[in-house]
């Protein structure tokens, strides 16, 4: 009967195993490039909030003026490569096979090959986390009062045990309410438990950092009374929508509303006898109820058939519920043209 060491040696020498490991190494490279491309796209679009959140998640603390530079990309790649270092994992697994050989019966090379195959899935989870940060800010907004009550109770500014208890509170809250911040969100269900455990602590702790940062974003948005970026950025976003609508629907009549006194609409679109009022929201945060209420009022004022909000961001759950009840269309910059087409059919 062959020993476990002999079975491992035969397996890792097989072409199937070699191909799987090679595919895992290439997937790591490809998925890293895809993640950085998504971050670069956010930089080009000026989406500062997701960039700040990502920087905070990895403890990079990148200054705001440098969020749009290659420095963030370089630091991010360096940090992920360090956290998922093959060399560090080998040291870890060598110790486990020596000290806990009953739980780790395979050879070091076997565990390393397995690690290289599973490791790329982390980048899938991280990219999903990054791209859905606007949605997660919406979740934080919906739970903001509870979170602020916790901050008031634990008083983290006092430091010491107060800070530790508040971190524990946020960590648990993030795991319960923020999708994408547990080890299972980063590794598929069939991934070995010991690989998830190896990174589990960091992933869970990072969840509270993400949540705390999002609380700050929502707080700033609430204190300012709005979640939009500067008026000039909003005007440029509105002009972009008008240009895209004109190209897609050459026969349409498009009337931008006054900068002031617009009654809650930025664009009035008339196409095939159908009038649609559109409110354009270039946000760094998440669009809430106010935008829905404003564009609904504009529909009444301009005697329009439909009302639509278009944003580069996401909508809070409360905004989506209200929009459904009063018949306001909520669209994004990527799907609003299709939504307009559906309204005029």
Residue 6 near residue 105 (C-beta atoms within 8 A): no
Residue 253 near residue 271 (C-beta atoms within 8 A): yes
Average pLDDT over residues 150-165: 88
pLDDT above 80: residue 264? no
pLDDT above 70: residue 46? yes
How far is 297 from 293, CA to CA, in rounded Å? 6
How far is 76 from 72, CA to CA, in rounded Å? 6
Residue 295 near residue 279 (C-beta atoms within 8 A): yes
| Range among 76-90, 158-172, 203-217 with highest mean pLDDT value | 76-90
pTM over 0.75: no
**What residues contact residue 146 under an 8 Å CB cut-off, 6+ apart?**
none
pLDDT category at 3 given cuts 50, 70, 90 is confident
Residue 286 near residue 138 (C-beta atoms within 8 A): yes
Span of 28-37, 216-225, 323-332 with lowest mean pLDDT: 216-225
Neighbours of 107 (CB within 10 A): 19
Q: Which CATH architecture has domain 231-344?
A: 3-Layer(aba) Sandwich (3.40)
Distances in whole angstroms, Cα of residue 345 to Cα of each of 213, 253, 271, 338, 340: 43, 17, 10, 11, 9
**What residues contact residue 239 under an 8 Å CB cut-off, 6+ apart?**
none
Domain ranges of the chain: 4-224, 231-344
Average pLDDT over residues 3-20: 91
pLDDT score for 126:
93
Average pLDDT over residues 264-290: 83
Mean of the per-residue pLDDT values of the chain: 86
Dump pLDDT digits (tens) for 219-254.
766 655 444 443 455 677 888 898 899 999 998 898
């Amino acid at each position: 009967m062959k020993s476990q060491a002999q079975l491992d040696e035969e397996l890792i020498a097989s072409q199937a195993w070699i191909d799987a490991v090679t595919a895992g190494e290439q997937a790591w490279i490809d998925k890293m490039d895809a993640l950085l491309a998504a971050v670069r796209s956010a930089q080009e679009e000026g989406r500062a909030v997701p960039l700040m959140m990502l920087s905070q998640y990895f403890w990079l603390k990148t200054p705001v003026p440098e969020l749009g530079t290659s420095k963030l990309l370089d630091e991010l790649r360096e940090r992920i490569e360090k956290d998922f270092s093959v060399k560090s994992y080998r040291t870890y697994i060598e110790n486990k096979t020596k000290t806990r050989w009953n739980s780790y019966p395979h050879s070091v090379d076997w565990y390393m090959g397995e690690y290289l195959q599973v490791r790329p899935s982390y980048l899938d989870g991280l990219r999903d986390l990054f791209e859905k940060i606007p949605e997660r800010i919406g979740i934080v907004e919906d739970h903001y009062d509870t979170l602020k009550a916790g901050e008031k109770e634990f008083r983290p500014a006092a430091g010491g045990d107060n800070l530790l208890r508040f971190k524990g509170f946020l960590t648990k809250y993030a795991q319960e309410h923020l999708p994408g911040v547990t080890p299972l969100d980063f590794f598929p269900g069939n991934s070995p438990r010991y690989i998830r455990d190896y990174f589990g602590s960091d992933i869970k702790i990072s969840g509270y950092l993400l949540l705390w940062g999002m609380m700050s974003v929502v707080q700033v948005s609430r204190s300012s009374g709005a979640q939009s970026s500067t008026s000039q950025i909003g005007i440029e976003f509105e002009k972009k929508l008008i240009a895209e609508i004109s190209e897609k629907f050459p026969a349409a009549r498009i009337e931008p509303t006054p900068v002031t006194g617009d009654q809650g609409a930025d664009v009035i679109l008339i196409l095939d006898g159908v009038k649609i009022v559109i409110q354009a929201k270039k946000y760094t945060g998440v669009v809430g109820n106010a935008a829905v209420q404003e564009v609904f009022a504009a529909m009444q004022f301009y005697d329009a058939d439909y009302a639509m909000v278009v944003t580069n961001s996401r909508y809070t759950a409360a905004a989506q519920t209200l929009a459904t009840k009063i018949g306001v269309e909520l669209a994004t910059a990527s799907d609003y043209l299709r939504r307009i087409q559906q309204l005029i059919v």
